[in-house]
Chain A
Amino acid sequence: MKVLKKNDRRLKRSSVGKMIRNLFGVLAVLFIIWRLYLVFIVQNNYGPETWTRLLIAGLVIGSVYALIAIGYTLVYGILFMINFAHGEVMMLGSFAGFFVFEATNAINITAADGSVTSLTNAQPVLSIILAFLVGMTFSAMVGFFLEKIAYRPLRKAPRLIPLISAIGASFALQNAALLLFSPQTRNYTNPEFLARGAGWRIMINETAVILPYTGVLTMVLSILLMVGLLLMVKRTRLGKSMRAVAMDKDTAALMGIDVNQTISNTFIISGALAGAAGVMWGLHNGILHYFVGFLPGIKAFTAAVLGGIGNVPGAMLGGMVLGLLEAIGPAALDISFQLKDVIAFVIMIVILVFKPSGILGEVLSEEKV
């Protein structure tokens, strides 16, 4: 066969839009280089200890994003829809964990030496496990019912319809939480040994950088969960049926796979992961209110797109990368920390505009994008 490629596809799309896109791209790159030059060469304010601190923060928040992003990616892989309410599932899981800690705090236990401690501190491991279990179960339930009520009847509808339904679900869940739990901000009461701010001290340049226990817990646990998920998708029957349904629902049904059940399972799994992320969020950040799921939700979606939506390892990678960029970005570019969220949104737009297939993603056919 001839290898001669005469008609370049680019000829066809040599439009103004493309030129302007490229112009935006060049300008953005120039801007970033200029800011990096300012920060690292001209000012050079921050020492390695600051960067280490930011790196740790980024990895921790990144692993939370990664867990949520897996939920987006799993659902998108199977239904080709953005589960807009996924952030709210995480928020509800976080609330469930919060209530577990409140309950264990309320129970007082008198130790053998007569001192009174709460159950949280007397049995910290137990209470943490309990919180994760309850949070994951509750979120899984929310995900299950969400799919059953708001998405399943719309599976055959045009694609915008389930999306609008998902937006509705997101708002409904958010405001339900607002009305149930009030707009007040709450704080997680961690077990004493996991107190926020406590951690190992690492000396860099004679300055202590704290590696928080909660952060380590978050990272280790999320890596364990992710490895478990990967094994499940690769090895088990459930994982195989999920992959089959993602490929082709009709054929999967012909092969005897219960498509509805598989989709339900997907929502349960992604809900459980979001619930775990919610409890981690609570343990690490401590702050909890009804709106807490919105931004992590959007950012995790960004992470999923960044890694290549529909691709599970991609979501993990995307989450980590996004967390790092978000933590280091403001300092590295010398912009205000208020604009941290802007970075995530800008990354989202840039990725969707320039490379919608993400880092690890396959090239999506037109109908999927």
Chain B
Amino acid sequence: MNSEKYLRNSVQKGFIFSIVMIFMMMIGFHVVAANLTSKLFGVQVLRGSIPEVVFMAYVHLFFAFIFGWGASDKNRPSKQRVAQGLVTSVTTAAIISLFSLLLVFLVEAQLDIREYLTAFSADYMRYFVLNLGRPGIITLFGIYTVTGLVGTVTALFVQSDRVQQAWNRAKTSVTLFWENANSKMPAWAQKYGKYVIYGGSIIVLLILPVRWGSYLNFVTSVVGLYIIAGIGLNIMVGLSGQLMLGYAAFIAMGAYSMALLNAPTPHGIMLGFWPSLLVGVVMAMIAALILGLPIMRLRGDYLAIVTLGFGEIIRILLRSDLLVDFTGGPRGIHAIQGPTLFGRPFNSSSDFVYLIFFFIALSILIYQRLANSRTGRAWLAINEDSIAAQATGVNLRGYKLLALIIGAAFAGLVGGIAASRNAFTGPNDHSLMVSINVLSLLIVGGMNSIPGIFLGAFALRGLPEILREVETYRQLAFGVLLIVMMLVRPKGLWPSSRPIMENIDKAKVKKAKEKVKKTKRKSKDG
């Protein structure tokens, strides 16, 4: 029967929620969450110590509320939704209470299982049940049932038609107001307003690095380097559609060129920053050529796995004894010099931020120009349908190879700057993790979309640096995010849009739109 089915779904949901909850507890996430909550309330917690119990309660309340919110099915009548919420909440509460019963037992028996499950310190287990011991189990059950129900009811209220209508009305009135304000502005303001905003943000960007401390400068340059890398990888993956998992190898080319040519050890060539950077870029391009030539006929997952193998080979070679005299082996290369510009050495942290800003701007310029050119369109065509692209005269191998080479040039640039900035490079800076990071920022942000790349780089690299507490969970979050994005938004948070090119006036567009509608209707009728 139908009613049985929806309630069974709710029980399933309850199971999933509670398993997620228990998993988060097992990796010690709850303490971190409580820590963050306490920060939110302005209470600083000493590193390594556990915040007050109230905050743990908040965390439980928060999750219970969220679970309750997500428990019910939007398309069902409200009575069924409440029932669903109740079932899910009770299931979740029951399983979590059972789990906390286990915790209490562990605490009371003074069993130490930290050797196997690192997060399970006695303090943490006690903290999870709100330091209440056995009564805590009942309390948790109550919290999850009641708050879950509250969450369901809130969701019901917020998603009800009346609230939605009011919300929509508010939204339209705001946009109307905005359009009014826009149209009332004088013509010159409309025309140049954009440039004023651009100019203003550029000035802000120029001032900020001096004002910020060196820590924020560090974060900015990491994010900036990832943006450049993202743009480069986007040329391979987003434009020409070749999934590359060995991007770090090209970064390593740039970094090691910089290091070998510009560091006192092991060779002492001390060529200077700019020529080394150029050599790095060229080396990365050559590496892409050498890798690309034999593998051009592979595609999709085979290409991905071959490039992964290539990346790993480079990393293993770099850390092996074979090249220890040449590349410094696993210890890497230290004391790489910074650049000088017009005789002035770069020595403050803000200097590098400016340098990176400059290269971001340059990369965006190059990327935009390429993407909207004959070359870029050929790449996109290959990505969409390689056979049809070939039949329109696009040389598949040539263009795929070109995408690899140009993408690798960006990687060489990133590697060179990063090595010089950190004054160090070693094989572990170029592991598979780096490639995956760059790929996930593209996927999370949105391929072929510069704002998407910015968003992705900030979300994946910037946020975890600023919120140090969640740093431990970053890699896990990457993995989960990749899956979730593929399931929910395969085009990314800020999907790309195609450029408007025909440039016709609005009346004609309207007419054309009507024509499309008409023919669509016709073909539906027919």
Which residues of A line the B interface, CB within 8 A? 15-17, 20-21, 24, 81-82, 99, 102, 149-150, 153-154, 157, 159-165, 167-176, 178-182, 298, 301, 335-336, 338-339, 341-342, 345-346, 348-349, 352-353, 356, 369
Contacts and interface: CB of A to CB of B under 8 A. Distances in A.
A147 to B, nearest CB: 12
Given A154-B486, A161-B490, A369-B302, A171 B436 contact: yes
Interface of B: 23, 26-28, 116-119, 241, 243, 245, 293-302, 304-306, 308-310, 312-313, 316-317, 319-322, 397, 436, 439-440, 443, 472-473, 475-476, 478-483, 486-487, 490
Given A16-B293, A162-B486, 7 more contacts: A154-B487, A159-B301, A160-B300, A163-B304, A171-B478, A175-B475, A369-B299
A157 B490 CA distance: 10
B117 A348 contact: no
Contact of A153 (B119, B241, B320, B487): B487
A353 B306 contact: yes
Of B301, B312, B316, B478, the most chain A CB neighbours within 10 A belong to B301
Contact of A176 (B241, B245, B443, B476): B476
A144 to B, nearest CB: 14
A353 B312 CA distance: 17
Given A168-B481, A171-B475, A345-B313, A180 B118 contact: yes
Contacts of A21: 293-294
A11 to B, nearest CB: 16
A165 B488 CA distance: 11
Secondary structure of the B contact surface, majority rule: helix
Given A163-B243, A179-B28, A180-B26, A82 B305 contact: yes
A172 B480 contact: yes
A16 B395 CA distance: 13
Contacts of B306: 348-349, 352-353
B301 A82 contact: yes
Nearest to B16: A149
Contacts of B436: 167, 171
A171 B480 CA distance: 8
Nearest to A170: B479
Interface of A is mostly: helix
A342 B311 CA distance: 11
A176 B23 contact: yes
A301 B245 CA distance: 15
A359 B472 CA distance: 44
16 contacts: A102-B116, A149-B483, A159-B301, A160-B301, A161-B490, A165-B482, A165-B483, A168-B481, A169-B483, A172-B480, A172-B483, A178-B476, A180-B118, A341-B312, A353-B294, A356-B302
A349 B397 contact: no
A276 to B, nearest CB: 22
B320 A165 contact: no
A61 to B, nearest CB: 18
Contacts of B479: 168-175
Contacts of B310: 345, 349
A164 B482 contact: yes
Contact of A168 (B296, B305, B322, B478): B478
A179 B313 contact: no
Contacts of A369: 298-300, 302
B431 to A, nearest CB: 11
Contacts of B481: 168
B89 to A, nearest CB: 23
Contact of B298 (A24, A182, A342, A353): A353
List of 8 A-B pairs having minimum Cβ-Cβ separation, nearest first: A168-B482, A172-B479, A171-B479, A179-B27, A182-B118, A175-B476, A345-B309, A168-B483
B460 to A, nearest CB: 12
A159 B298 CA distance: 14
B486 A20 contact: no
Given A163-B300, A165-B482, A172-B476, A342 B293 contact: no
A176 B27 contact: yes
B472 A179 contact: yes
Contacts of B302: 352, 356, 369
Central interface residue in B299, B300, B317, by most chain A CB within 10 Å: B300
Nearest to B317: A342
A171 B479 CA distance: 5
Nearest to A13: B297
User: Chain B CB within 10 Å — which of A20, A164, A336 has the most?
Assistant: A164
B486 A356 contact: no
Contacts of A349: 294-295, 306, 309-310
Nearest to A99: B116
A90 B302 CA distance: 22
Contacts of B443: 164
Contacts of B243: 160, 163-164
A81 B301 contact: yes
A302 to B, nearest CB: 8
B385 to A, nearest CB: 12
Nearest to B289: A20
A184 to B, nearest CB: 8
Contacts of A17: 293-294, 296-297, 397
Contacts of A175: 475-476, 478-479
B116 A168 contact: no
Given A16-B293, A164-B486, A339 B300 contact: no
Contact of A24 (B117, B118, B294): B294
Contacts of B298: 352-353, 356, 369
Interface hub of A16, A149, A175 (most chain B Cβ within 10 A): A175
A16 B293 CA distance: 8
Contacts of A81: 301
A341 B476 contact: no
A336 B321 contact: yes
Given A82-B305, A356-B302, A369-B299, A338 B320 contact: yes
Nearest to A353: B294
A338 B316 contact: yes
B454 to A, nearest CB: 20
Nearest to A95: B116
B336 to A, nearest CB: 25
A9 to B, nearest CB: 14
A294 B313 CA distance: 14
A338 B321 contact: yes
A21 B306 CA distance: 15
